[in-house]
Amino acid sequence: MEQLEKLENQSIFIIREAYRQFRSVAMLWSIGKDSTALLWLIRKAFYGRIPFPIMHLDTTYKFKEIYEFRDKYAKEWGLDLLVYKNEKAIEDEVGPSKRKFECCTELKTNALKEAILKNKFKAIYLGIRRDEHGIRAKERFFSPRDEDFEWNYKEQPPELWDQFKSKAKNEEHIRVHPLLGWRELDIWEYIKKENIPIAGLYFAKDGKRYRSIGCQTCCEPVDSSADTIDKIIEELKTTTVSERSGRAQDKESAYTMQKLRSLGYM
Amino acid sequence: MNSQLKFIIVGSVDHGKSTLIGRLLFDTHSISADKVDEMLKTAKKLGRSTAFAYLLDHLEEERRQEVTIDTTQVFFKTDKREYMIIDAPGHVEFVKNMVTGATQAEVAILIIDAEEGIKEQTRRHAYLLSLLGFNQIIVVINKMDLVGFKQDRFLEVQKEADAFLGFLNIKPLFYIPISAAEGDNVVEKSKKMSWYKGKIFLESLEVLKERKSLEDKPLIFPVQDVYRIDDKRIVVGRIAAGSINRDEEIKILPSGQLTKLKSIEKFGQDNVKSSSVGESVGITTCDPVFLDRGDVISSSKYPPHITDTFTADIFWLVKEDFNKTERLTLRCATQEIACEIQSIRERIDSSTLRVIEENADVLKYIEVGRVQIKTKKPIIVECFNDIEELGRFVLVRKENTCAGGIISGLAIS
């Protein structure tokens, strides 16, 4: 079996395991390449009838193209789209111009907390990958969070073969990571193979393209002339720049991502 | 081509696992410039000279204490193929993380410090590898720079390792003297060990084989879930062995009912005629049979075994002891059932392999038990050596995995 097929089959298996175990679930869609690929896999796993909501955490700082893409495909794919904002923080003018750490925590992590509490979700699907960031490389496929949403990375549960964790009493929810074993290059090769629609921001315009997309205020495009999927794949095979080099929250200090994640960040 | 080999590096704490991986990535130019930069900066800030381990040990605590806490997986590529490397913690506290990593690997590298030789954790990791059925192992003897690159010392450690591994029925493919910190015999051949004529580490990886696929075995299809889509009841799961063909006669276990396969369902694909091991698919049947998670669909001619009693080796992964009077939940493939451990025939120290006690009543943290298990109802199992997916299981206590197990024998009534 080819590598992409292996990854696809493994991801679909994980997606189905989580739904069977928790039923009350949702998927977090950032409208970026990874979570859009995850959404594609979820559509496949459930034969086009996704039995749970697809959630977008709207910081209000996203790109215009991202909102357009979201609305177009939510309609086309018949998604049960849930949009969550941390209204209070937005009112209090929490924003990226002040502290980035606080902004990520308030507008993303706390918006997610509210959404989970309100909807009583037991598990959330996320499109994070191990090769994105050293901290994410330490993740499990099923990763528990406690009532404060903290990730206890020092005491992660064993995950033997494909026997995944069920939710224990002291655990608030389980993060499910079906794409953990995919690399950036796999994602793009899969997008190509399956012809998955993808936001235009990833393709180069005037010598620059976005390689990883977050809020408009906190991500920078990289130098690139790759304006097609094939060229992106070619670029990734030779680049010496890391994927998240344009993402501000990774850079504030060496352990910002670790701290953000231990508080419940994606 | 285009397949990926997953290997794990195990061994005692401080014997250089993370450093070896860092060296491998660095010398093959597999890491991005900004990551190298970050690694050098962090090492400088902490006042350390060997920075390679920082590529993997990403948690703040890991870098400060210079010890890997959790398993990391990284990717790496040569002209021949792609690899996923799993870096396992060597500290005794983190055995469950090591086992987690090992169950996702196909082959294993055992690393031994040339100066220190075999330690408690070296033996424990080797024993766990043998329990988990690893048959391709490479031994690297690291830190040769600390013993003056001397062949005598290499041969001494090799002899000691060979004796212990032989006892576990492990025959390593290679013994390789290296210095991960200085780069000898990892990616570049060492100029300081001209006495060594064998393969260097990177070359040795290229001869490793992926685990045999179970395509030629009779069909095993554990049912994961059942979806109702329009007027169809689609039974979904991942094929654990063999292949599935349309119109083929199948047997449903444990009920023993026979029926025919009506269709194979994959989203966006019509008219699928067959699917094989590893594929996540859905099926529909000709007769309206009742199917649910935990059932196993098999070939009608060669169904797997059904029993409620079997022997197994289990490794206890949590700090709270197991007491024989306790009931646990057993999970094997998609089956989940209450079970009791009828007897702990031997309680084994996982480092020395010494039998601590026969017919024991308890099993403690990181001990191995040779046990007999009885499940509440018969389940579908096989010996691990025949069909891995039906021969391995986890034991669950209060929703937490507390042990892993490998089936060694079935009691067939």
B140-194 residue pLDDT tens = 999 999 999 999 999 999 999 999 999 888 999 999 999 998 899 999 999 999 9
Token representation of residue B394: 């986890």
Residue in A closest to B215 by C-alpha: A1
User: Across the strands, what pairs with B348?
Assistant: B355, B368
pLDDT digits (tens, 9 = 90+) for B278-307: 999 999 999 888 899 999 999 999 999 999
Residue B29 has pLDDT above 90, yes or no: no
CA distances (Å), origin A145, targets B147, B169, B291, B319: 46, 41, 33, 21
Quickly state the pLDDT bin for B1 (edges 50, 70, 90): very low
B14: nearest Cα among B146, B132, B102: B146
CB neighbours of residue B89 within 10 Å? 26
Asked if B65 is an interface residue toward chain A (Cβ–Cβ < 8 A), one would say no
CA distance B42 to chain A (A): 8
What is the rounded average pLDDT of the residues B72-77? 79
Torsion (CA) B37, B43, B44, B45 in degrees, nearest 10: 110
Phi/psi for A63 (5° steps) reads -70, 150
Contacts 24+ apart (CB under 8 A), B161-165: B161/B110, B161/B112, B161/B118, B161/B122, B164/B118, B164/B123, B164/B126, B165/B126, B165/B137, B165/B139
A19: nearest Cα among B398, B296, B227: B227
CB neighbours of residue A221 within 10 Å? 17
ipTM of model:
0.88
Asked if B72 is an interface residue toward chain A (Cβ–Cβ < 8 A), one would say yes
Set out the domains of chain A in order of their start, with CATH numbers.
2-183+251-262 (3.40.50.620), 197-249 (no CATH)
What is the rounded average pLDDT of the residues B259-277? 93
For B302, the 3-state DSSP assignment is coil
Closest CB to B399 among A3, A138, A167: A167
Q: What pLDDT is recorded for position B53?
A: 65
Token representation of residue B381: 């199992």
- Which class for A233: exposed (0-12), middle (13-18), buried (19 or more C-beta within 10 A)? middle
Closest CB to A137 among B32, B34, B72: B72
Residue A148 has pLDDT above 90, yes or no: no
Beta carbons of A134 and B396 less than 8 Å apart: no
State the residue for tokens 């084989």: B209
Residue in A closest to B5 by C-alpha: A3
B376: nearest Cα among B303, B343, B327: B327
State the residue for tokens 């549960």: A157
β-sheet with B72-77: strand ranges across: B72-77, B82-87, B4-11, B107-113, B137-142, B174-177
Interface of B with A in 373-392 (CB under 8 A): 392
Residue in A closest to B74 by C-alpha: A131
Residue in A closest to B32 by C-alpha: A240
- Please check whether residue B185 is in contact with residue B204, taking contact to mean a CB–CB distance below 8 angstroms: no
- Please check whether residue B373 is in contact with residue B330, taking contact to mean a CB–CB distance below 8 angstroms: yes
Q: How far apart are CA B374 and CA B212, in angstroms?
A: 30
Q: DSSP class of residue A219?
A: B
Question: To the nearest whole number, what is the mean pLDDT of chain B?
Answer: 88
Asked if B329 is an interface residue toward chain A (Cβ–Cβ < 8 A), one would say no
pLDDT digits (tens, 9 = 90+) for A32-42: 999 999 999 99
- Which class for A240: exposed (0-12), middle (13-18), buried (19 or more C-beta within 10 A)? exposed
CA distances (Å), origin B109, targets A103, A155, B165, B333: 43, 25, 13, 27
Q: Which residues of A touch B29 (CB under 8 A)?
A: 240
- Please check whether residue A96 is in contact with residue A1, taking contact to mean a CB–CB distance below 8 angstroms: no
B187: nearest Cα among B357, B24, B1: B24
Range of lowest pLDDT (A239-243, B43-47, B222-226): B43-47
Asked if B40 is an interface residue toward chain A (Cβ–Cβ < 8 A), one would say no
Asked if B43 is an interface residue toward chain A (Cβ–Cβ < 8 A), one would say no
Residue B390 has pLDDT above 90, yes or no: yes
For A109, the 3-state DSSP assignment is helix
pLDDT digits (tens, 9 = 90+) for A10-29: 999 999 999 999 999 999 99
Asked if B71 is an interface residue toward chain A (Cβ–Cβ < 8 A), one would say yes
Q: How many CB pairs under 8 A join A and B?
A: 143
Residue in B closest to A241 by C-alpha: B32
A151: nearest Cα among A259, A24, A57, A22: A259
β B4-11/B82-87 pair status:
parallel
Q: What pLDDT is recorded for position B148?
A: 95
Q: Which residues of A touch B5 (CB under 8 A)?
A: none
Mutate to test the interface with B, among A138, A140, A243, A260 (most CBs of B within 10 A): A138
Q: What pLDDT is recorded for position A155?
A: 79
CA distance A154 to chain B (A): 7
CA distance B70 to chain A (A): 6
CA distance B60 to chain A (A): 7
Closest CB to B4 among A3, A157, A158: A3
Q: Please report, rounded to a whole number, the percentage of residues in chain B having pLDDT higher than 70.
A: 90
Phi/psi for B34 (5° steps) reads -70, -25
CA distances (Å), origin B101, targets A123, A156, A159, A207: 23, 12, 8, 41
Beta carbons of A131 and B74 less than 8 Å apart: yes
Beta carbons of B227 and A240 less than 8 Å apart: no
- Angle at B380 (CA atoms; ends B374, B386), nearest 5 degrees: 105
For B93, the 3-state DSSP assignment is helix
